[in-house]
Each structure stands twice: as C-alpha cells, then as structure tokens.
Amino acid sequence: MSDQLRFDGKVVIITGAGGGLGKCYALTFAERGAKVVVNDLGGEMTGDGKGTKAADKVVEEIRAKNGIAVPNYDSVENGEKIVQTAVDNFGRVDIIINNAGILRDRSFLKTSDLDWDLIQRVHLRGSFILTRAAWPYMQKNKFGRVIMTSSGAGIYGNFGQANYSAAKLGLLGLSNTLSIEGQKYNIKCNTIAPVAKSRLTETVMPEDILNVLKPEFVSPLVLYLCHENTEETGSLFEVGGGWVGKLRWQKSSGAMVKKGDSMSPEDIRDNWSKITTFDSPIYHSTIGESTNFCINASETDSAESSSPDQTKFKYDFKDAILYALSLGVSSADDKNLKFLYENHEEFCVLPSYGVIPAFGILFNALSSLKLPHNLTIDPAKILHGEHYLELFRPLSTSGNLTIKPRLVDVLDKGSGALLIINIELLDEKNDLVALNQFVTFSVGSGNFGGKRDSNELVKVSAKKFDRKADKTIEEKTTVDQAVLYRLNGDLNPLHIDPSFSAILGFNKPILHGLCSFGFAVKHIIQTYCGNDVKLFKSVKVRFSKPVLPGQTIQTNMWLEKETSGYRVYFECRVLENQSVVITGAYADLHDVKLGEQKSAESKQQVDQSSEVQLSSENIFAEISKKMAQNPDISKGINAVYSFRVTKGNKSKIFLVDLKKNKLSNHSENENVKAECNITISDDDFVSLASGTANAQQMFMKGKLKVKGNIMLAQKLEKLFKNNAKL
Ligand SMILES: CCCCCCC[C@@H](O)CC(=O)SCCNC(=O)CCNC(=O)[C@H](O)C(C)(C)COP(=O)(O)OP(=O)(O)OC[C@H]1O[C@@H](n2cnc3c(N)ncnc32)[C@H](O)[C@@H]1OP(=O)(O)O
C-alpha cells in the first residue's frame, strides 16, 4: 500500500515484548520496516524469576518474516543496557515503547512495602530509566517518539490496585513533562490507557470479554503516534476493542470564594455547588494557562469585589451583538447595523440589554436567600412575573460591571409566592448604571401566611385607553428564539427542555419573559426614539401569559406626554391566539423622535442644531449627520431628502434622492427637511449654487469627505461617483 505508515530505518525498543501487547507492537513495527529491540525479562507476572525464552520467540517470529529484531533480557530498571543493545546492533534509538509491567494486587492495607516499591520500580522508575537513557540519542537525531502505558486503574482508580494506580497515573505526569521538554528536539511523548487482553488483564477479566479486546486493536494507535509525520504530543488516549478516544482535563468555572484577604471552610461550603458544577467548563492545556487563570481571578476579585453578595459581569461587543440577534434584530434593515456591527460609527447596545448582567447571580442567589416563613422555592417552578429596568446612562458597548442583588420583599399571592429582587449594576467607578427589579412568581408556593403587597414594588399601570393604539408593531418570533436567547445567560431549562416545561404544565418550552420584553422595548425604540438608545429611561412590564417560540408578538403603543415627560404605555399580544402576554406596561423616555407625525417638531430640532459653522470639506459629513438625525431616516434611507445650503443671505436647495441615487437642484418652495449654515469659500459656494461644481470631482479631490452614518455615507459616495451635479 502506497500510503502505509512505514518505519524503515527506525529503531524501536519495546519493553515487555515477549507477549501480549508488547509482542503485537514488535511484530507490527517489524512488518513495517522498523528494527526492533524485543525486550523481555522473561519473568513471572508478579516480577519473580527471569528467562530468555519469551523475547527469543518473538525475535524468531520476526526474523521468520524477514524482519529485523534483536532480543534483550534486561529488567527495565536497567534501561541503559536495553538502550545499549539498540545502539550496539543498530547504531541509534528512535522510538521507545514503555510497555513492561507487573502486578502485585492487594487491598490497600495489605499492600507491603515490597508490593508498593516493586510496582513503582518496574512501571514508573523503569520507564524513567529507559527513556532517560534513550533521550540523548533522540535529542541528537532531532527525532524521538515515546509511548507511556497508563491504565484505567490510574485514571479512575481500581479496588486492590493502589500501588499500580499510583504508578500508572505517575506515568501520565512523566509523559506530560517529557512532551514539553522534548518539543524542541522533535521528541513527542504520548500516553495510552489500553484495554486489551494481556497477562495482566487475564487475571481480572472473563474470557469472552478478553476475546474482543485483541492487542491488534491497540497497536495501530501506538504505531500512528510513533510515526514521523505525527505531531501529537502530551496527550492521553483510551484505546480498546477497536475504539480510540482522547482524554483531557476539564474544570468547573468554579467560584471566587475568598472575602478580602481571608477564606474559611464555610466559604467553601457556601459555594460548593458553584465549585462543583460543570455548566461552563474550562479546558486548560498548560500549567501557565491554569496558573494565570487563578492569578487573574484573584486580582480581578481583589481589585473589584469584596462581598460574596456581589458578582462581576464582563461583556463586550460580541455579547451586545448576540443579544440584538436574539431579539430578531436583522441586518436586512440597514438602520439596524448600528446594533450588529462593532465598527459602525454609531455602534450601540439595545437598552434592554441592562437585564442580562443580572442573570449570572439570580439562580445562585436563590439558594442562599433567607426567606420568611421558612418558605422554600423550587427553581423548576419559577416564572418571571414582572420586570422593571431603569438605565441611568446608556449602556456602553463593553463593560465590567459589579452586580449587587438585594431581596426586597416576599409576597403571598395565594397561587404563588412573589420574590421581589432588586439588582443594581455598577460600573468600574462604582457609579450606578442600571437598576433591575425582578419579580418572580413561584408557582404553588403561596398561602404561606405572608403579606400581599409591598411599597417597594414598582407598580404596573392600571391605565386603560379607549382609543386604538397610536402605533403597533407585529413581529414573528422564530421557533428557535428561546434557543438563541438563552445564550445571553438565562439557561433556565424551562425554555428548551420539554421535560422541564411540563413541570409547570406547558406542552412545550416557553419563551423567556425577558425575550418578549426585549422585543417590546425594541419596538418602542424603533417607533418613538428613531432607534436612538439614548432616549430610553425605564420600562416596567407584567408577564401575564406565556409566549411560545414561533408566535407573533404584537406591541400596541400609546404615547402620552405627562408632567414627568414622555411615557409610552404598551401591551403585547400573541397574534395567533390574541392572548395578552404583557400587561400594565409602560416605558419612560427622555424625549421622543417620531416619524411623520412629529416631523415638524423634529425639523425644528434639526434646524436649531444646524447652526454649526462648517467648512466646504465636511459639508457632506454634515449632510449625512443631519440625515441620520432626521426621523425620515428611521423609515429607511430611501427617502428623498432636501437640504438648504446657506451662505450669508444666499442659499441653495438641493434634493438627495437616495432611492434613485440622484442628487439634484431644487426650487425654493421645496419643503426643506434640514438646513445647514455652512462656512464655505465664495468660489466654492458659487460653484455649488450655479451647478458648475461637479460633486464627483470634488469628492475625488478629497474636498467632500463623507463621514457619519455608514449606510448614508456609502449611498452618498455612490451618488458622487455617479457624477451627480449639485
Ligand atoms: C431567582 C430566580 C430568578 C428567575 C428569573 C426568571 C427566569 C426566567 O427564565 C423565567 C421566565 O422567563 S418564565 C416566562 C415569562 N413568564 C411567564 O410566561 C408568566 C406568565 N404569567 C402567568 O402565567 C400568570 O400570570 C401567573 C401563572 C404568573 C399567575 O397567574 P395566576 O396564578 O392565575 O394568578 P392570578 O390569579 O391571576 O393572580 C393572583 C395574584 O398574583 C398576581 N399576579 C398575577 N400574575 C402575576 C405576575 N405575572 N407577576 C406578578 N404578580 C402576578 C395578581 O395580581 C394577584 O395578586 P392580587 O390579587 O394581590 O392582585
């Protein structure tokens, strides 16, 4: 076979090669061109006695097939002699298979010093001595392959094999370090934990099982790992019965349990579930990664937190984008790019993202809450009842927040218990960024004799409107909406696992309350804020009925100007069954940016803010800025847009038709949507006003730099390149 893995010219030492796995390796290496040192002490399985027969027979078998092999009868404890045999006969050493082993199985207390020492000497010390003796040859040749033979007894432990388990896992440690030290000499070292029929396993496994565990199902892995083209090193494999798999270390994300400078056994006890839960495992492959992880965790903690009631939440642009995606924000609409593209000039985070950092602490907090009336809460029966979110400033696109929870009150609602939990988000300067009030409804935990209301609860609205909603947005969720949304951090199985949703009597997993909430807040921001997240102040909702992934959320909105400012009252319905899923809801805004019906007002705002003195170079940057500010843009950037460019008492109006990709002059009576007072040289203005200026040429000369809103900039660039004239 042309692609056969060959070992021509390579010298391989195999210990314990008189039978079982070692013999199988020896025969296969020889078949594939290697020169083999067949080492076997010829003793008993217990390490007693010695003889030449075992090794000789294998050498004979190899030679009978025209292979090249020499015997060696030394103990692995005399590894130098085995290496010398290889050097004397073949002049080099390339591959070491540490395979020899004996057993002295005893239950722990009956294990004598000799039982212990003998096992360590043969397995661990023997592998050390032999490999050390071969190392200089492999270093010199800049090639080496080493196999250590471990065992499931080492990895998992096995009754009666304390001595053997210790030695076998010791070999893994030896191999791990050799793989690091050998790296620069192209010496690769791997460990296998075989399950195979051998003299050692014959004593502990029944015959029928042993028959499927042929050595021939292990040797291919050993040969592969020893081939010159194999780069694998420092790895551990389990192999047997034809199956091969790689093992690695995994650790729980753990917990920072120290408080300031001290740490007690009680801190460990109180964090035990966090310490031992493998929800978000960490895989470190070097000691450096592992050590740095602890150091970083410690530094982060001491710099930022001293209370066990607090936790940290770090997020970056990817989290913000994932959140937007999980609320159906799509790049199909250009104006959404600012939520989806980190290099967008106006890249920002949806305000409702303020609910996400709180999640990390919620379920953990539940177990440590001291509830009145000895109330216990079943986490599988919690529904999100209500939510209040207030932002004290717009969320930044990345952050390192401290999360502070406080159990505010517990109410008895008969059919359930309400837990009111306030969660503050603080920035690195300890300034309050956001306040969340979670109200959770624990189904079936009511009637415990508690109070029914609390002053600290942010109340839902009782307001009813007899007019039709001022604005309505309908949006279909996808069947995978909850699957995507949970990646933001709320991994509650209620939203994905049918067996969990069944506990609460739901036929299918239901959507996260905060996902519907996110859709609704997005609808408000689109409708009343021109997508400007800075206008959001706060929002309160009650989740009155569940939503199923795939259903259509209809947000009905009523805008009211109240003494405290603009308030959007809203409700959400599921279109498919007309059930009202969010009730009593309202959002407070710092200001509104309306579409058509408020265009006069917003034009005024734009006009006022356009008293900027501009140079001719950035006229189009200003234009694109004005366009971005204008509510027409929120409908899409296909609008025909008019601008007045004024110089002293002269002015010029032009139209930008983004749909037709046209820039044209226009008459004085056009309803101007944005005006710019521009400081412009007389000559430039004359050129612009008279239409002799060629926008394309000006653009090419770098006089017209298009900045600002990225989509508008691209459209304008296209216009200029199309040779449009002013
Ligand atoms: C610490 C861990 C934190 C975990 C955070 C959350 C994790 C998330 O993953 C969980 C979710 O997202 S669950 C999904 C979103 N939520 C829902 O779908 C719940 C929908 N609501 C319902 O089904 C019912 O309102 C229902 C079942 C909640 C109540 O219905 P009923 O039992 O029929 O109650 P009812 O008879 O109408 O009213 C009894 C009293 O309770 C008050 N109330 C009703 N609904 C409430 C609600 N949603 N929130 C708060 N209070 C509520 C009523 O006002 C009434 O009290 P009172 O008589 O004093 O006015």
Nearest CA to ligand 1 atom 31: 415
Q: Determine the distance separating the centroid of ligand 1 and the alpha carbon of 542, expressed in angstroms.
A: 8
Cβ distance 484 to 564 under 8 Å? Answer: no
The radius of gyration of the chain from alpha carbons, rounded to an integer in Å, stands at: 37
User: Range with the lowest mean pLDDT among 42-56, 259-273, 379-393, 570-584?
Assistant: 42-56
Q: Which tens digit of pLDDT belongs to each residue from 305-359?
A: 434 456 889 999 999 999 999 999 999 999 999 999 999 989 999 999 999 998 8
Kindly report the protein residue whose alpha carbon is nearest to atom 17 of ligand 1. Answer: 546
Q: What is the model's pLDDT at position 664?
A: 55
Confidence of residue 201 (pLDDT cuts 50, 70, 90): low
Site residues for ligand 1, CB cut-off 6 Å:
362-363, 366, 382-386, 413-416, 418, 438-441, 443, 452, 490, 492, 494, 510, 512-513, 542-546
Mutate to test the pocket of ligand 1, among 311, 383, 443 (most ligand atoms within 8 A of CB): 383
For 158-181, the pLDDT digits (tens) are: 999 999 999 999 999 999 999 999
SS3 category, 191: strand
Instruction: Determine the distance separating the centroid of ligand 1 and the alpha carbon of 517, expressed in angstroms.
Output: 14
Buried b (16+ CB within 10 A) or exposed e, 611-627: eeebebebbbbbbbbbb
By alpha-carbon position, which residue is closest to atom 39 of ligand 1? Answer: 413
Q: Which residues are catalytic?
A: 164
Residue among 14, 60, 57 nearest 37 (CA): 14
Beta bridge partners of 72: 39
Percent of the chain with pLDDT over 90: 62
- Index of the ligand 1 atom closest to the CA of residue 416: 32
Q: How confident is the model at residue 272 (pLDDT cuts 50, 70, 90)?
A: very high
Average pLDDT for residues 218-241, to the nearest whole number?
96
Mean pLDDT value across the chain: 83
Confidence at residue 564, expressed as pLDDT on a 0 to 100 scale: 84
Residues 6+ apart with CB under 8 A from 665: 652, 653, 654, 655, 691, 726
Q: What's the confidence (pLDDT) of residue 637?
A: 39
Closest ligand 1 atom, residue 443 Cα = 27
Which residue's CA is the nearest one to ligand 1's atom 24? 544
Question: Residue 543 Cα, ligand 1 centroid: separation in angstroms?
Answer: 6
**pLDDT surpasses 90 at 292:** no
CB-facing half-sphere around the CA of 165: CA atoms within 13 A: 16
Mutate to test the pocket of ligand 1, among 367, 441, 551, 583 (most ligand atoms within 8 A of CB): 441
pLDDT, position 668 = 53
The tokens describing 521, both together, are 């807040």
Q: Which residue has the higher pLDDT, 564 or 716?
A: 564
* Residue range 442-486, pLDDT digits in tens: 999 999 888 999 999 999 999 999 999 999 999 999 999 999 999
Please give the number of the atom of ligand 1 that sits closest to the Cα of 510.
14
Exposure b/e, 440-467, CB count within 10 A at least 16 = b: bbbbebbeeebeeeeeebbebbeeeeee
Beta-bridge partners for 417: 412, 442
**Which ligand 1 atom is at minimum distance from the Cα of 494?**
9
126, 100 Cβ separation under 8 angstroms: yes
> Which of 544, 573, 577, 581 maximizes ligand 1 atoms within 8 Å of its Cβ, making it the mutation to test the pocket?
544
Which of 364, 452, 543 to mutate for ligand 1's pocket (most ligand atoms within 8 Å of CB)?
543
Give the closest residue (by CA) to ligand 1 atom 34. 415
Q: Report the SS3 class of residue 357.
A: coil
360 and 330 Cβ atoms separated by less than 8 Å: no
Confidence of residue 596 (pLDDT cuts 50, 70, 90): very low
* Residue spans of beta strands (DSSP E) within 413-551: 416-426, 432-443, 471-476, 536-543
pLDDT-derived band of residue 378, with 50, 70 and 90 as boundaries? confident
pLDDT score, position 610: 30
Q: Is the pLDDT of residue 624 over 50?
A: yes
Q: What's the pLDDT score for residue 705?
A: 38
pLDDT number for residue 421? 93
Distance 603 CA to ligand 1 centre (A): 44
Lowest model confidence (mean pLDDT) among 2-6, 78-82, 188-192: 2-6
The proportion of the chain whose per-residue pLDDT surpasses 70, expressed as a percent, equals 77
pLDDT of residue 531: 94
Q: Quick one: pLDDT band at residue 80, thresholds 50, 70, 90? A: very high
Distance CA 703, CA 695 (A): 9
Does 699 have pLDDT greater than 50? no
H/E segment holding residue 263: none
CA 568 to ligand 1 center in whole angstroms: 23
Q: Are 537 and 390 in contact (CB under 8 A)?
A: yes
At 430, the pLDDT band (50, 70, 90 cuts) reads confident
pLDDT band at 362 (very low <50, low <70, confident <90, very high): confident
Residue 544 has pLDDT above 80, yes or no: yes
Ligand 1 atom nearest the C-alpha of 581 is 20
**Best mutation site among 367, 382, 413, 459 for ligand 1 pocket (most ligand atoms within 8 Å of CB):** 413
Residue 59 CA, distance from chain mean position: 54
Q: Residue 130, class by beta-carbon neighbours within 10 Å (0-12 exposed, 13-18 middle, 19+ buried)? A: buried
- Residue whose CA lies nearest to ligand 1 atom number 36: 415
The region, left, alpha or beta by phi > 0 then psi within -120 to 50, assigned to residue 515 is: alpha
Residue 671: the pLDDT is 54
Tokens of 236: 């551990």
d(CA 452, CA 413): 6
Structure-block tokens of residue 210: 């042993």
Tokens (6 digits) for 10: 């390579």
* Phi, psi of 15, deg, nearest 5: -90, 150
In this structure, are strands 68-72 and 35-39 parallel, antiparallel, or unpaired? parallel
Of 191 and 300, more confident: 191
Among 498-502, 681-685, 702-706, 709-713, the minimum mean pLDDT is found in 702-706
- Cα–Cα–Cα angle for 27, 28, 30, nearest 5°? 65
pLDDT digits (tens, 9 = 90+) for 656-686: 554 454 555 555 554 554 443 334 455 555 5
Distance CA 522, CA 533 (A): 10
Q: Tokens 């939520």 identify what position?
A: 339
Q: What pLDDT is attached to residue 605?
A: 31
Long-range CB contact pairs, 293-302, < 8 A, 24+: 297/254, 297/256, 298/256, 298/258, 300/256, 301/256, 301/258, 302/260
| Domains of the chain as residue ranges with CATH | 11-247 (3.40.50.720), 265-443 (3.10.129.10), 471-593 (3.10.129.10), 599-720 (3.30.1050.10)
Phi/psi of residue 309, each to 5°?
-80, -5
pLDDT digits (tens, 9 = 90+) for 129-143: 999 999 999 999 999
CA–centroid distance, residue 467 to ligand 1 (Å)? 28
**What are the helix (H) ranges across 76-187?**
79-90, 113-119, 126-141, 152-156, 162-182
The residue whose CA is least distant from atom 48 of ligand 1 is 385
Across 250-349, where does the E strand assignment appear?
Answer: 311-315
- Give the whole-angstrom CA distance, residue 570 versus residue 293: 46
pLDDT at 287 over 90: no
State residue 575 phi and psi, 5-degree precision.
-65, -35
CA dist 477 and 487 (Å) reads: 16
Ligand 1 geometric centre to CA of 413 (Å): 9
Name which of 461, 575, 558 is nearest 516 in CA terms.
575
**How much helix, strand and coil, in percent to the nearest 5, is found in the chain?**
40, 25, 35
How many CB atoms are located within 10 Å of the residue 102 CB? Answer: 21
Report how far ligand 1's centroid is from the alpha carbon of 93 (Å): 74
Task: Give the residue from 328, 331, 147 showing the smallest Cα distance to 239.
Answer: 147
Lowest mean pLDDT of 367-381, 410-424, 492-506, name the range: 367-381
Of 303-307, 370-374, 446-450, 594-598, give the lowest mean pLDDT range: 303-307
Shortest-distance Cα residue to atom 44 of ligand 1: 544
One DSSP character per residue, 22-68 reads HHHHHHHHHHTT-EEEEE-----TTS----SHHHHHHHHHHHHTT-E
Of all protein residues, the one whose alpha carbon is nearest to atom 33 of ligand 1 is: 415
How much is the average pLDDT of 565-582?
Answer: 96
The pair phi, psi for residue 554, each rounded to 5°, is -110, 120
pLDDT for the residue 614 = 31
Cα-to-centroid distance, 491 and ligand 1 (Å): 19
Residue 205: count other Cβ atoms within 10 Å of its Cβ: 16
Are 632 and 652 in contact by the 8 Å Cβ rule? The answer is no
